[in-house]
Amino acid sequence: MYLSIYGISTNKFNNLISEKISEKDKNLEINLKEIKIFLNINNFNFELKTNNPKVFFKNKEIKIESISTNLPLRNFFSKKMNLEEVKILTQKNKIQNLIVFIRAYKDNPQLFILNKIVKDGFIDIETKITFNKDGSIKSNYLIDGNIEDLKIELIDNNIVENINLSFLIRENEYLLYNLSSLYQSIKIKSNQIKIIDNQNSYNFEGDISNQKSEIDLNKFTLFSNNNIKSILNEELTISTNNKFSFKLSKKIKFSDINFQSKLVLEKFKYSSDIFKRFFPGYKKDIKFENNSITIDYSNGDFEVNGKSKININGDIDNANYSLKKIKKDFFYNLNFELINSAINFKILNYTKNKDDKSVLELKGKYSPSKNINLDKIKFVHNKNFIDIQNIKINKNKKIKSIDNIKVSVFNNNDKLTKLNIKKDKNKYFINSKIFDGAKLLDEILFSKNDSNFFDLFDNLNSNILVNIDTAYLNNEDYLTSLKTNLTIKNNEIFDLNLLSNFSNDDEFKVSIRTNQNKEKITTIFTNQAKPFVKKYKFIKGFDGGVLDFYSVSKDKKTKSNLKLYDFKLNEVPALTKLLTLASLQGIADLLSGEGIRFNEFEMKFNKDKGLMTIDEIYSLGPSISVLMDGYVQKDGLISLRGTLVPATTINKVIGSIPLLGDILVGKKAGEGVFGVSFKIKGYPKDLKTSVNPIKTLTPRFITRTLEKIKKAN
């Protein structure tokens, strides 16, 4: 009764236990204090317990709270003493010391890696171990414990710290629960992670989540890809909830990976200059905010579904998207409900204004080894729609082919554009009842890009047949029965013949042909120059005119000659300023009033990359004639110089050629001033003009004037 209630203290078994342990491992040393012995009457066992023993392994102390064991009564009177069960309760120990201890008895690659990556932390354990008669440990052992302030260093030198968790270990089974940690300022937690030790692998199953955290992507090698950095902010605010399972082989290879994730991503952004074409006032990027995303991943295949608010210039709209990966192929579907954002299709002169509901859908497939397939791009706004089917794009983002495009919109001028483009084998057919080409013509005339439209394609070689009943050049002027057949070779127009008529039956002709020397020869002729010249906003009051254009180009070098006949000008700022500075106020008043009539205008110029060299501009009219040359750099410096002469002086010169000496000197005071020389130089918005009176006309000016008059007669 005394033994069962109060027990007794003894050091009789100290040496016995120490010797037994030393027999197992000479590196292990245990110094026991007094052992408390209790008698369990129910099963006739003695319970032996000692507190705060000193345990050393390779001279590193492992702090023990208590060790206890049950000893059958029959063994007490036997010469052979066998331990059947041991319970160990530890204090907080350094994890590195415990790993060294475990590796001494059961080493494996996992423990080797663990020893390398663990940098700090503490562990306490409560364990129950039972033994066979031969002293070996039975498989029904149980280890329960806690880890605090664990710090590990990953292979990429990233640090995971403040790891706290509880664990339960049975044979071939590990359970981690109530896990919390901090990784790159991200607070991570897990309710449970279960690990099953099979013969050749470990099976993992569990959950992990993080609270709303700000993430600096510069600290994550996962996001070092430039394409990802261009989409995501440098800092993200994100929260996740994940369930996962996978196998890890004993050779550290992953397989059977499955996880389901729910993410709340506060915002990310995407930038591209292409959006400037479609969103008025687009500044820098499109922001995707309040993203709710689900991910279902299984062995390399996955499906992503998400909802977002898209922010364009402060205008908020809704977006839904899905991305599915099957083997090596990606299938995507994006839907945008655009109400608050304005959209502009410049080439169609069509704008969807704010507060008008519209829907944009993109659907397709991407194969890393092949192409990007856009099965469908569809935009719908009221009765207006743009529908593009089956676009194939190569790895270099070049278009390989488009099967079909259908357009039906009422544009900003309240004109209907109906267009159908269809591919049949190696030919494209473009048909339209009515097409507003005003903005398309602007793009051709005023584009600052030297590349041509067909550079969007991947080595296009095709015939394009165009048939448009009515093609508007502006609000008033239009062409009828516009027909042409284009031959495209290597993304260049090889051959083109276009014939059409204005509403008054005046012809409009365009011809492009490529000769044997690979020179591209372009000619344009029309009896109505006005619809084209009035596109230049700085020229006002242009009327009449016949346009004749000829150019030869090779290797991106072009030599051109532009002629205009029988036209009138009402306002040209540079010319008005020049006339005013030259004290030719009467002609300046005429220019801004009824206008100045010209019989002929001819411009000879060359283009090489971004430089236009003007060999000569000569314009002859009843009131004034101008001869000039110079150069214009793309988006840069303009430099022109020339001679300007009133027609009265020219007539006097031509009429008095036999008495040239008298003319050059002049018979009356002031008659010797025949005109002015001028210079115009500077940048487009800061042109400087200077003039100087001249008493003698240059031989070149006289020669060119005589040539023009002789030709006219």
Secondary structure of 4-43 in HEC code, one letter for each residue: HHCCEEECCCHHHHHHHHHHHCCCEEEECCCEEEEEECCC
Four-CA torsion 271, 272, 277, 281, nearest 10 degrees: 30
**Range with the poorest average pLDDT among 160-164, 265-269, 444-448:** 444-448
**181 within some domain:** no
**375 within some domain:** yes
Could you give the 3-state DSSP secondary structure of residue 80?
A: coil
91 vs 140, higher pLDDT: 91
> Which one, of 407, 398, 369, lies nearest residue 491 by Cα?
398
Could you give the 3-state DSSP secondary structure of residue 441?
A: helix
**491 within some domain:** yes
**113 within some domain:** yes
Looking at the predicted structure, is the pLDDT value of residue 702 above 80? no
Number of domains in the chain: 4
**230 within some domain:** no
Angle at CA 338, nearest 5°, toward 337 and 341?
A: 160
Looking at the fold, whether 535 and 622 belong to one and the same domain comes out as no
295 vs 229, higher pLDDT: 295
Looking at the predicted structure, is the pLDDT value of residue 663 above 50? no
Looking at the fold, whether 18 and 135 belong to one and the same domain comes out as yes
Domain end call among 361, 382, 412: 412
Task: Report the 10 Å Cβ neighbour count for 255.
Answer: 10
> Which one, of 314, 231, 318, lies nearest residue 280 by Cα?
314
Check residue 333 and give left, alpha or beta (phi > 0: left; psi -120 to 50: alpha). beta
pLDDT, the chain, mean: 80
> Which amino acid is present at 492?
E
Looking at the predicted structure, is the pLDDT value of residue 72 above 80? no
Looking at the fold, whether 490 and 594 belong to one and the same domain comes out as no
Domain end call among 556, 585, 616: 556
Strands 462-472 and 427-436: parallel
Residue 261 pairs in a beta bridge with 242, 295
Helix (H) or strand (E) holding 664: helix 660-665
Looking at the fold, whether 353 and 399 belong to one and the same domain comes out as yes
**371 within some domain:** yes
What whole-number distance in Å separates Cα of residue 276 and Cα of residue 16? 86
Looking at the fold, whether 395 and 500 belong to one and the same domain comes out as no
Looking at the fold, whether 275 and 405 belong to one and the same domain comes out as yes
- What confidence tens digit (pLDDT) does each residue in 336-345 have? 999 998 888 8
How many helices and strands in the chain, by DSSP H and E?
13, 41
Helix (H) or strand (E) holding 325: strand 315-326
Domain end call among 378, 395, 412: 412
> Which one, of 284, 278, 356, lies nearest residue 317 by Cα?
356
Task: Report the 10 Å Cβ neighbour count for 79.
Answer: 5
Range of the domain at 356: 271-412
**467 within some domain:** yes
- What confidence tens digit (pLDDT) does each residue in 45-69 have? 878 788 888 888 777 788 888 888 8
Structure-token match 């002729």, residue found: 525
Looking at the fold, whether 542 and 469 belong to one and the same domain comes out as yes
Looking at the fold, whether 511 and 406 belong to one and the same domain comes out as no
Work out the burial of residue 592: count CB atoms within 10 Å of its CB; fewer than 13 is exposed, 13-18 middle, 19 or more buried.
Answer: middle
Looking at the fold, whether 448 and 380 belong to one and the same domain comes out as no
Looking at the fold, whether 528 and 602 belong to one and the same domain comes out as no
Mean pLDDT of 375-400: 89
What HEC string does 665-713 produce? HCCCCCCCCCEEEEEEEEECCEEEEEEEEECCCCHHHHHHHHHHHHHHC
> Which one, of 95, 14, 105, 3, lies nearest residue 46 by Cα?
3
Could you give the 3-state DSSP secondary structure of residue 293?
A: strand
Tokens of 622: 């009843």
Work out the burial of residue 561: count CB atoms within 10 Å of its CB; fewer than 13 is exposed, 13-18 middle, 19 or more buried.
Answer: middle
Kindly report each contact of residues 179-185 with a partner whose C-beta sits within 8 Å and lies 24 or more positions away, as own/partner.
179/208, 183/158, 183/159, 184/158, 184/215, 184/216, 184/219, 184/220, 185/213, 185/214, 185/215, 185/216
- What confidence tens digit (pLDDT) does each residue in 262-280 have? 989 888 777 767 677 788 8
What whole-number distance in Å separates Cα of residue 207 and Cα of residue 417? 56
Query: In 425-461, which ranges are E strands?
Result: 427-436
- What confidence tens digit (pLDDT) does each residue in 121-147 have? 999 999 888 877 776 777 788 889 999
Task: Please name the residue ranges forming H helices in 321-469.
Answer: 438-446
- What confidence tens digit (pLDDT) does each residue in 560-615 have? 999 988 888 777 767 767 776 666 655 665 566 667 888 888 889 998 877 889 99
What whole-number distance in Å separates Cα of residue 363 and Cα of residue 332? 6
Mean pLDDT of 186-201: 89
Looking at the fold, whether 401 and 425 belong to one and the same domain comes out as no
User: What pLDDT score does 371 carry?
Assistant: 74
Helix (H) or strand (E) holding 475: none
What whole-number distance in Å separates Cα of residue 69 and Cα of residue 46? 8
- What confidence tens digit (pLDDT) does each residue in 495-533 have? 989 889 988 888 889 898 999 888 999 999 998 888 888
Count CA within 13 A, CB hemisphere, residue 171. Answer: 9
- Backbone dihedral angles phi then psi of residue 103, each to the nearest 5 degrees: -65, -25
Looking at the fold, whether 399 and 485 belong to one and the same domain comes out as no
What whole-number distance in Å separates Cα of residue 500 and Cα of residue 507? 6
User: What pLDDT score does 87 carry?
Assistant: 87
Are 500 and 473 in contact by the 8 Å Cβ rule? The answer is no
Are 567 and 542 in contact by the 8 Å Cβ rule? The answer is yes
Tokens of 163: 């790891």
Please report, in angstroms and rounded to a whole number, the separation of the first and last CA atoms in the chain: 146
Tokens of 255: 């397989």
Is the entire prediction scored with pTM above 0.85? no
**157 within some domain:** no
**Eight-state DSSP code of residue 412:** T
Are 267 and 288 in contact by the 8 Å Cβ rule? The answer is yes
What whole-number distance in Å separates Cα of residue 51 and Cα of residue 54? 9
Strands 201-216 and 235-249: antiparallel
- Backbone dihedral angles phi then psi of residue 531, each to the nearest 5 degrees: -60, -25
C-alpha pair distances (Å), 346 with each of 273, 278, 343, 445:
15, 7, 9, 14
